[in-house]
């Protein structure tokens, strides 16, 4: 007997996913556009920006990417690397205020063999974690249950970003 998972809020995503695909690199093209909310961009720094991951491991999963299109850490200046590290620290603060996680996974996957989903452009992941967040769904069936829409996560985190920036 199979169980059913109801996720009716996913219908809009499933029916429009192809229309939201970006030509070229999302970390180059999306910051050029005006609608940050539609593009999940939460914050723009001097040399890098913060956006929600459209395919999150958990609610509040953020990414920090430099504006410079590169897959090589050595092509980033010290100022760019410092800006990225400062943004990562701020992300942890925003996520903590919004979600109260018990821990974080923070890192960068370099190259396809290193697990990078977009290997041509460096980007850091900030993933909130809770004790016990790896449950039977992930363990048995390799399925992640994200209990919040991207729009709701964006609004929740944007509130923290705006409070920090103002």
Average pLDDT over residues 42-62: 94
- 108 pLDDT band, cuts 50/70/90, is very high
- 139 pLDDT band, cuts 50/70/90, is very low
> Residues 69, 121, 123, 125: which is the catalytic one?
123
Q: Domains of the chain, with CATH numbers? A: 23-165 (3.30.428.10)
The answer to whether residue 123 is catalytic is yes
Mean pLDDT of the chain: 85
- 135 pLDDT band, cuts 50/70/90, is very low
**Over 80: is that where the pLDDT of 136 sits?**
no
pLDDT value of position 148: 73
pTM metric for this prediction: 0.80
Spatial distance between the Cα atoms of 16 and 37, rounded to a whole number of angstroms: 16
Average pLDDT over residues 149-157: 88
Average pLDDT over residues 27-50: 97
């Amino acid at each position: 007997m199979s169980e059913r998972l109801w996720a009716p809020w996913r219908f809009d995503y499933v029916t429009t996913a192809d229309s939201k695909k970006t030509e070229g690199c999302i970390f180059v093209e999306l910051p050029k556009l005006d609608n940050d909310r539609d593009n999940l961009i939460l914050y723009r720094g001097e040399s890098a920006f913060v956006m929600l991951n459209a395919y999150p491991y958990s609610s509040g999963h953020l990414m920090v990417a430099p504006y410079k299109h590169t897959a090589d850490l050595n092509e980033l200046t010290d100022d760019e690397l410092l800006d990225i590290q400062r943004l990562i620290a701020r992300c942890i603060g925003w996520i903590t205020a919004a979600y109260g996680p018990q821990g974080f996974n923070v890192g960068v996957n370099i190259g396809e063999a290193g697990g990078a989903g977009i290997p041509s452009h460096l980007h850091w992941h900030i993933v909130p974690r809770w004790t016990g967040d790896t449950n039977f769904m992930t363990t048995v069936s390799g399925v992640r249950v994200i209990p919040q829409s991207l729009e709701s996560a964006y609004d929740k985190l944007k509130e923290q970003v705006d409070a920090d920036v103002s």
